[in-house]
Chain A
Amino acid sequence: MPKIDHEALSTAARCRHYAMCKIDYLGTGLCPSGPEKHFVTFYPQGRMDLYRGLAEGRIPVTAALAEAADTCDLCGRCDLQCHFVTGMQPTSVMRALKDLVEAHRRAGGEVLSPAEDEGLRKMRGIVGRDGASNDPAVLWTYADDPFPLAGPRMPRYVALPRSRDEVSALVRLAGALGLPFAVRGNGGSVFGFVFTDGIVLDMGRMRGIAFDPENWCVAVEPGVTSFELQQEAFRRGLRVNAAEPAATVCGNIVCTGTFSTWSNVYGTAADSFVDMEFVGLDGSVFRLNDKRAPNHFAFEHKVVPSPGICTKAYVRLHPKTDDEEGLLVPFEGLDEAVRFARELAQRRLGLAVGVLGTHYIATFLSPDEGLAAKLKEALPQALGIDYAVFAVADRFARDAIGKMAPAVIDASLLRLLMLGLPRLVEPSWLDLIREFEGRERPWELLCRADMRPVVEAALRPSPETVSESVPEALRPFYRELYARPEMTDMVWLNMHRIVSARMSRRKHMFAFLVYVPPDKPLVIREVLDGFARVAEANGIDHDFGFLTPMDLGRRAILEYDYYVDHTDPAEREKIARALPEIEPWLDGLAARVPGVLSLKYVFSQGCSRKENFLYRV
C-alpha cells in the first residue's frame, strides 16, 4: 500500500456528511462529476469517504473509486464550499486520493470491477445502466455517517431512481429479492436510519420542481434540497418553510416535519404541504389527500415506521413583502428572552422568530472558528448579551418591536457588526465597551443611532475586514463573497439557512429537539438543566441551541446540542453513555408536563397535523 497522508486522512475522517458540497450555495458551481454521475461517490463528500476507506483498508481500489479519483480535477471549489461551514479544505484529500490511486496503478495493483449479478441486472433494467451499482467503493460511500454509535453497514446495491414508477418498481424488486431497502436523500443521518445491508435508494436524480402559483404550492420531487427550493421560491418573490440547506425537502417533511424559526408563522409538519405522494412499502402509490389512503395526518405517541417513500410533496408557498428585515433583540437572561419571543408570537409580530444563545450567534456570524470562539466570549462578557431574540419583520412589526424592546440591533447594525467582526473582538475595542458603567447596558449603547459613526470607525466594516479571519489563500474569495449583499442580509441567510450549517464546524453535533410550553419558564429551565446535567456528568461539550415559538406562542420548539468528536473513540463512548440517560428522564418529564414532547416521537410522522402531537386530548 502506498504511503498514507495522515493529515489528509484526519481531514477525511472529520467530514460531517453535511452534503454542502452537493448544493451550489455559494455560487461557485458544483464539483462537475457529481451532477453527472449522481452517486455521492463522485462528490467531494464521497471522495473524503473513499480516501478514508482506502487508507483504513476497508475498501479496495475499484473501477468506481479510480473513476472518482480521476474525475477530480483539483479545481478547489470544495475548499470554498467546505471551509464556509466546517473550516476544512478538502482539496488536500482529493489530491491524496488521486496520488494513492496513481501509485496503486504504477505498482501494477489490481483495479477491481465487481461482476453484475442477477439483482443488479434487474435493477439496471429499471433505472438504467448508470443508475445502479454494486461497486464496493460506491457502496462504501453509502455505508457510514458521523453518527458515532454505529459502525459502517455496507449495502448490497445502490440505485438512483428517476421517477415515481421506478421507485415503485425498485420497491417491488426489493420485495422479490427479499432485501430490505433504505431511502437516502442528502447529508448525514443523525440516528442511522438511512443504512441497510440491502438496497439504498438515492433520490438524487428526482429533482423536479414545478411551481403552481395559483394554488400557492410547488410540487417537489424527493431529490430537491431545501436550498434549491428556497432559491427558486425566492426568485419568484415567494418563500417556503425550509430545513437545513442540503436536506431534501421531502425527506425532511416525512422525517420530522419541517421546523425552523419560520415555524413561528408557517407552523410545522402537515402545515408545510398541501398534499404528498408516496410509494408504499408494497410498491403501491397513494396520496395523502385520497380518502382511501392511510391516515398519516394522525399521530401516535410511539416510534413508528414511515408511510413509505415520498415521491412528491406539494409544498406550501408563502408571500413575502419587500420591506422585511432581520433584527436581534439582546437579553441578559433566557427567561426574559423567551417571554419576549412568546409575546411577539402572541401579538403576531414578526415572521421568523427565535431565541438564540451566544454559541449560535457567534457561530452563525463568524466565518472562522477562532473568531467564533472570541465572539462567544465577548458577547456576554463585554457586551452583556447572553441571549438574543432574532426576528424577521416588516416595517410595521419592526416599529412595534422597537417600542417593546430597550434596544434593537437592526439590519444595518447587524451588517456592520458582521463585516467588522474581527475588530469587534479586539481587546482594545472590547475594553472600551466592557468597562462601561453607565445606566445603559453596553449593547444598548452599541445600538444607539448616534453611536453609529463611532462604531463604524472602530470596526471598519468591509468585506476586506471580515475576510481577515480566514486563511490567506481563501481571502480573495471571501472578499468577493461578503461583497454580495445577501451574505449580510439576515432575511436571505435565515431563509436559506447556509450559516446554520456551521454548527458542526468544531465537532459533530447531536441536536436534541423538544417541544415545550413557552409560558412555563420552570419547565424550560428543567429541560435545559437536564441536558446540561447529563452532558456534564459524561464530559460532553454542550450548549443551548435555539427556541422558536409556534402556534401563536402556545408551544415552542427547543434545541439543545451536544458536541462530540466522532473520530475520537473516547468521545464516542461518552455519547454512548449519555444517550440512555436522556430518554427516561425526558419521557418522564413529557408524561408529567403537557406540551413537552421529544421530537424523537415525531420521527417518520412528519406528515401529521401538529395539533395532534402538540396537544394531548
Chain B
Amino acid sequence: MRIGREGLRERRAARAGRVLVTGGAGFLGSHFAVALMRAGHPVTLLARSSKDLSARDRVARIAGWFGLDGEARRRLAVAEGDILDPGWGAGAGGGDLADVDEIVHCASSTSFAERRRPEVEAANIEGLGRVLDFAARGRCSVLHHVSTAYVAGKRSGVCKEDWIEGGEFTNVYEETKARGEILARDACREEGIRLNVYRPTIVYGDSRTGRTLRFNALYHPVKAAVRLRDIYLADIRERGGAKAAELGIRLAEGGRLVMPLRIAVGREGGLNLVPVDHCVDAFMALFEESLDGGIYHIANPGTTGIGDLVGYARRYFGLEGIETCGTEDFGARPKNALEALYEAYLDAYRPYMQDPRVFDGANAAPVLRKRGLACPAFDEAMFARCMAYAVETDWGSRLPA
C-alpha cells in the first residue's frame, strides 16, 4: 500500500491530505465535496466549463447554492478539466492537481439508453481509465469510487457487497459501472492504492428540505406528467380544449385535471430511494471509517411502491385519472396517446420501478449503525417536500447550471 493504515489515519486527523473530487459540479460530486470541506479537508474540484461559464464560476455558483461559508471555501481549489478529454490524464498532474492524496471519483454518465453507449462508455470506462492513470502517476493513496447498487445487474433477491464479474445487465449504465469497478479494483491493487467503492441506489433531494441540484430519476416521470398536465390545462383554458377532448381529458370540479393515463405495473418490488443528505452522511462515515477499503451499499431497507408514488403525485399536483393497473389489464384495452408516450417514457425506468433486488448492507451497516445513521422512509410528506422544491425551481431551470 502506498500509505499505511496509521499514516492515513494521522493524515486524515491532521486534515493534511488534499482530496480531488471528479464530477465536482455534478449532483453527488458537489454534495460530497461540500461535506468534505465542511469537515475540514482541503478539496480540489475537477469541473468542466459550461457554454457560458468557466469551471470556476460554475463551482462558485454551486458553492453559493450550498451556502458554503468563507472558511470552508478557503479549502476549495478548482481544476478545470474533463475526463472525457483524451489528453486529460496525461496533461494533469501539475498546478492544482500536483498535491492530490485521495480521489473521490464521481464523474459519470447516468444515461441508461443503449443509443448513448459511446458517450456512456467514454465517461464510465475511458474517463475512469484516465483518472486511474492519473492516480497511478501521482501520489494518490486512496481512491473513493462512486458506483451504483445496480451493478448487481439482472437478478432477484439479495445482492451482496461483492465484486460483480460478468452477468447480465439491465442497461449500459449498469454494465459500464460494473466494468468500472473491476477496472478500479485491478488498477488499485497493482498500484497499492486503497479503494472504497460506494454503491448508492436512487438518490433524490434532501429529506429535510427537499432541496436538490438534479431532477432526474425519481423526478423525471413526475415532471413528465406535470408537463402534460400543463399542456392540456392550457389547451382547455386558452383554446377551448379540443385537443384535450380528443383524449378524454377534462377539468373536474375544483380545477383538477382528469387525465386518463394508465401505468402498467407488475407485482414485484418498488423503488429504492435514498435522500441525498443520508447518502452524504453515509459516504462521510464510510470515508472516515473504512481505511482498509471495501464495497458499501448505500440503500434504503424499504422500497416505495409505484401505486403509492402515483397516489402522492395525484394528490400533490391535482391530477385525476392517473392510475396503475396490472400488465394484463393494461394490454386488454388499446393505449391512448398519453399512455403510449408515458409507456415509452417509463421504459428505461421500469427495471427500477418494480425492483426485485434487495441490497444487502453487511459491510456498510456496522459503520452506519455506529454513527446512528438510518435511511429515512420515503412517504407522502417527503414527496411533497421534494416536489415543492422542484416546482419552486421549475425543475431545476432556475438553479445554477
Residues of chain A whose beta carbon lies under 8 Å from any beta carbon of chain B:
384, 427-429, 431-432, 435-441, 445, 448, 450-454, 456-458, 460
Contacts and interface: CB of A to CB of B under 8 A. Distances in A.
Nearest to B112: A437
A436 B344 contact: yes
Nearest to A462: B239
A513 B281 CA distance: 61
Contacts of B341: 445, 451, 454
Contacts of A439: 113-115, 347-348
Interface stretch (B95-103, B224-232, B322-330): B224-232
Contacts of B5: none
A580 to B, nearest CB: 31
B223 interface: yes
Q: Give the top 9 A-B pairs by smallest Cβ distance, nearest first.
A: A437-B348, A457-B243, A438-B347, A453-B337, A450-B340, A458-B231, A432-B227, A437-B112, A454-B337
B317 interface: no
B335 interface: yes
Contacts of A453: 243, 246-247, 337
Query: Helix, strand, loop or mixed for chain B's interface?
Result: helix
Interface residues of B, number: 32
A450 B345 contact: no
Given A451-B340, A454-B337, A437 B113 contact: yes
Query: Helix, strand, loop or mixed for chain A's interface?
Result: helix
Nearest to A432: B227
A422 to B, nearest CB: 14
A440 B395 contact: no
B9 interface: no
Nearest to B230: A428
Contacts of B337: 450-454
A6 B340 CA distance: 56
B373 interface: no
Contacts of A445: 341, 344
Contact of B344 (A428, A440, A452): A440
Contacts of B209: none
Contacts of B223: 431-432, 435
B230 A432 contact: no
B216 interface: yes
A414 to B, nearest CB: 19
Interface string B234-250: 01000100011011000
B338 interface: yes
A413 B307 CA distance: 35
Contacts of B246: 453
B340 A441 contact: no
B111 interface: yes
Contact of A460 (B114, B216, B220, B239): B239
Nearest to A453: B337
Contacts of B340: 448, 450-451
Nearest to A423: B231
A542 B216 CA distance: 35
B348 A429 contact: no
A432 B111 contact: no
Interface string B375-389: 000000000000000
22 contacts: A384-B115, A427-B397, A428-B230, A429-B227, A431-B223, A431-B395, A435-B224, A436-B345, A437-B111, A437-B349, A438-B345, A438-B347, A439-B115, A439-B347, A441-B115, A450-B337, A451-B340, A453-B247, A453-B337, A457-B232, A457-B243, A458-B231
B111 A457 contact: no
Contacts of B231: 429, 454, 457-458
**Which residue, A439, A452, A457, has most C-beta atoms of chain B within 10 A?**
A457
Contacts of B216: 435
Interface string B186-228: 0000000000000000000000000000001000100110011
Contacts of B345: 436, 438
B224 A438 contact: no
A448 B344 CA distance: 11
A457 B235 contact: yes
A436 B337 CA distance: 16
Contacts of A457: 231-232, 235, 243-244
A453 B248 CA distance: 12
A123 B218 CA distance: 81
A456 B224 contact: no
Contacts of B395: 431
A398 to B, nearest CB: 23
B319 to A, nearest CB: 16
A413 to B, nearest CB: 14
Contact of A432 (B112, B114, B224, B349): B224
**Which residue, A441, A450, A451, A460, has most C-beta atoms of chain B within 10 A?**
A450
Given A439-B115, A454-B228, A457-B244, 10 more contacts: A429-B227, A431-B223, A431-B395, A436-B344, A436-B345, A437-B113, A439-B114, A451-B340, A454-B231, A457-B235
Contacts of A428: 227, 230
B235 A438 contact: no
Contacts of A456: 243
A437 to B, nearest CB: 4
**Which residue, A436, A438, A453, has most C-beta atoms of chain B within 10 A?**
A438
Contacts of B114: 439
Contacts of A448: 340, 344
B232 to A, nearest CB: 6
B336 to A, nearest CB: 8
Interface string B244-266: 10110000000000000000000
Contacts of A441: 115
Given A429-B227, A437-B349, A450 B243 contact: no
Given A428-B227, A437-B113, A450 B335 contact: yes
Contacts of A438: 113, 344-345, 347-348
Contacts of B113: 437-439
Contact of A431 (B227, B239, B244, B349): B227
A459 to B, nearest CB: 9
A456 B115 CA distance: 27
A453 B397 CA distance: 27
A458 B228 CA distance: 8
Interface string B106-122: 00000111110000000
A283 B243 CA distance: 68
Contacts of A436: 344-345
Contacts of B232: 457
**Which residue, A384, A429, A445, A454, has most C-beta atoms of chain B within 10 A?**
A454
Interface in B307-357: 335, 337-338, 340-341, 344-345, 347-349
Nearest to B335: A450
A12 B340 CA distance: 53
A455 to B, nearest CB: 9
Contacts of A454: 228, 231, 337-338, 341
Contacts of A437: 111-113, 220, 347-349
A460 B244 CA distance: 12
Contacts of B112: 437
Nearest to B249: A457
Contacts of A452: 337
A99 to B, nearest CB: 42
